[in-house]
Structure 1
Amino acid sequence: MSVHVREVLQLPILNRAKLHTKLVPNQVEWISVIESPVENFVRNNEFVLSTGVGCTGGVEDLEGYVKDVIRSHASVLAIATGRHIYNIPDRVVKLAEEHNLILMEIPWEVRFGDILHEVFQLINLNKEEEKKRAESIRQELTNCVLNGKGLQEITEIVYQSTQIPIAISDHNKQVRANQDFDRYLIDALNGVEEITCTLESLVLQGDHPLAHYMEKYKIGEEVCYQLTILSNYKKQGYLLVQPHTESELDWMALTILDHALTACALYFVKENAIEMTEIRLKDNFLLELAKTEREIAPSLLSKAQLLGYDLDRDYICLMGQIHQKPNSNDSTPAETSTYQSTSIQSRNYYIQKEVTFAGGLLQRETMTTFDEGEVIIYLEVDQKTYSETARQFLDLIERRLDELLPGIIVLWGISSFKEGQYHFHSTYQEAKTALTMGGEKHEGRNRTFFNDTRMNRLLMVLSHEEEVASIVDQTLEKLIEYDAKRQTDLIHTFIVYNKYNSNVSQTARALNLHRQSLLHRLRNIEQLTGLSLLDADDLFLLELSVRLWMLKRIEK
Structure 2
Amino acid sequence: MGLNAFDIVNLSILKTAKIKAGEYLLQNTSVEWISVIELPVENFVRKNEFVLTTGMGCENDHEQLEAYVRDIVQSGASILGIATGRYVFGIPEQVLKIAEENHLIIMDIPWEVRFADILQTVMEKITQDRQQERQHADEARRRLINCVLQDKGLKEIARVLYHTIQIPLAIIDESGVTRANQRIKSEDLQVYPTQKKTIKQQSTSHPSFSEHPIYYHMEAYHLNKQTFYQLNIFNNHKVQGYLVCQPANQDQLTWFVMNVLEHALTACALYFVKENAIELTEVKLKDNFVLTLAKQELPVNDQSLSKAKLLGYDLEHDYVCIVGDVTSDQASAMDKEDKPSNSSLQSDNYYIQKEIMYAGKLLERLTMTTFDNGQVIIYVEADHHPYMETANQFLDTISRRLSELLDGTTLSWGISTPKSDDNRFFEGYQEAKTALEIGVQQNGRGERTFFSNTKVNRLLMALSKEPEIDQIVNDTLDPLIEYDRKRQTDLIYTFLIYNKFKGNVSQAARALNLHRQSLLHRLRNIESLTKLSLVDSDDWFLLELSVRLWQLKNIH
Query: Which TM-score applies when normalising by structure 1?
Result: 0.88
The Cα shift of 1:383 comes to 6.3
Indicate the residue corresponding to 2:549 in structure 1.
548
Indicate the residue corresponding to 2:71 in structure 1.
68
The question of whether the paired residues in 1 share the 8 Å contact of 2:34 and 2:51 is answered with: yes
Indicate the residue corresponding to 2:34 in structure 1.
31
Indicate the residue corresponding to 1:307 in structure 2.
311
The Cα shift of 1:381 comes to 0.7
Letter paired with 2:48? N
Query: How has the CA–CA distance of structure 1 residues 376 and 109 changed in structure 2, closer, same or farther, with 3 Å as cutoff?
Result: same
Indicate the residue corresponding to 1:243 in structure 2.
247
Query: How has the CA–CA distance of structure 1 residues 81 and 544 changed in structure 2, closer, same or farther, with 3 Å as cutoff?
Result: closer
Indicate the residue corresponding to 2:432 in structure 1.
431
Out of 279-288 and 290-299, give the one that drifted further.
290-299
Does 2:385 align with 1:381?
no
Looking at structure 1, the residues matched to 126 and 30 of structure 2 have their Cα atoms a distance apart, in angstroms, of 11
Query: How has the CA–CA distance of structure 1 residues 444 and 300 changed in structure 2, closer, same or farther, with 3 Å as cutoff?
Result: closer
Looking at structure 2, the residues matched to 232 and 338 of structure 1 have their Cα atoms a distance apart, in angstroms, of 19
Query: How has the CA–CA distance of structure 1 residues 408 and 31 changed in structure 2, closer, same or farther, with 3 Å as cutoff?
Result: closer
SS at structure 2 position matched to 1:93: helix
Query: How has the CA–CA distance of structure 1 residues 33 and 340 changed in structure 2, closer, same or farther, with 3 Å as cutoff?
Result: closer
Choose which of 104, 110, 114 in structure 1 pairs with 2:113.
110
Long gaps (5+) in structure 1? 327-332
The question of whether the paired residues in 2 share the 8 Å contact of 1:137 and 1:256 is answered with: yes
**Paired residue total:** 544
Alignment of 1:215-254 (within 5 A): 215-254=219-258
Looking at structure 2, the residues matched to 271 and 543 of structure 1 have their Cα atoms a distance apart, in angstroms, of 58
Looking at structure 1, the residues matched to 500 and 64 of structure 2 have their Cα atoms a distance apart, in angstroms, of 105
Does 2:11 align with 1:11?
yes
Out of 142-151 and 496-505, give the one that drifted further.
496-505
Letter paired with 1:94? K
The Cα shift of 1:428 comes to 0.9
Long gaps (5+) in structure 2? none
Looking at structure 1, the residues matched to 410 and 224 of structure 2 have their Cα atoms a distance apart, in angstroms, of 45
The question of whether the paired residues in 1 share the 8 Å contact of 2:31 and 2:50 is answered with: yes
Query: Which TM-score applies when normalising by structure 2?
Result: 0.88
The Cα shift of 1:151 comes to 2.2
Query: How has the CA–CA distance of structure 1 residues 341 and 349 changed in structure 2, closer, same or farther, with 3 Å as cutoff?
Result: farther
The question of whether the paired residues in 1 share the 8 Å contact of 2:412 and 2:447 is answered with: yes
Letter paired with 1:228? N
The Cα shift of 1:190 comes to 5.6
The Cα shift of 1:442 comes to 5.1
* 1:143-175 per-position Cα deviation (integer Å, ceiling 9, x unaligned): 112222222222222222222111222233333
The Cα shift of 1:22 comes to 4.0
Looking at structure 2, the residues matched to 264 and 362 of structure 1 have their Cα atoms a distance apart, in angstroms, of 34
Out of 116-125 and 25-34, give the one that drifted further.
25-34
SS at structure 1 position matched to 2:46: coil
Query: How has the CA–CA distance of structure 1 residues 42 and 309 changed in structure 2, closer, same or farther, with 3 Å as cutoff?
Result: same
* 1:56-90 per-position Cα deviation (integer Å, ceiling 9, x unaligned): 33444444433333333222222333444443333
Query: How has the CA–CA distance of structure 1 residues 354 and 38 changed in structure 2, closer, same or farther, with 3 Å as cutoff?
Result: closer
Indicate the residue corresponding to 2:178 in structure 1.
175
The Cα shift of 1:197 comes to 6.5
Indicate the residue corresponding to 1:140 in structure 2.
143
The Cα shift of 1:338 comes to 8.0
Looking at structure 1, the residues matched to 539 and 215 of structure 2 have their Cα atoms a distance apart, in angstroms, of 85
* 1:470-510 per-position Cα deviation (integer Å, ceiling 9, x unaligned): 22222222222122222222223333344444454554454
Looking at structure 2, the residues matched to 32 and 445 of structure 1 have their Cα atoms a distance apart, in angstroms, of 73
Indicate the residue corresponding to 1:205 in structure 2.
207
Indicate the residue corresponding to 2:291 in structure 1.
287
Out of 117-126 and 281-290, give the one that drifted further.
281-290
Indicate the residue corresponding to 1:330 in structure 2.
none
Instruction: Tell me the percent identity.
Output: 53
Query: How has the CA–CA distance of structure 1 residues 388 and 43 changed in structure 2, closer, same or farther, with 3 Å as cutoff?
Result: closer
Looking at structure 2, the residues matched to 444 and 147 of structure 1 have their Cα atoms a distance apart, in angstroms, of 50
Query: How has the CA–CA distance of structure 1 residues 262 and 471 changed in structure 2, closer, same or farther, with 3 Å as cutoff?
Result: same
The question of whether the paired residues in 1 share the 8 Å contact of 2:233 and 2:239 is answered with: yes
The Cα shift of 1:39 comes to 3.4
Query: How has the CA–CA distance of structure 1 residues 421 and 204 changed in structure 2, closer, same or farther, with 3 Å as cutoff?
Result: farther
The question of whether the paired residues in 2 share the 8 Å contact of 1:201 and 1:215 is answered with: no
Compute the RMSD of aligned alpha carbons. Answer: 3.0
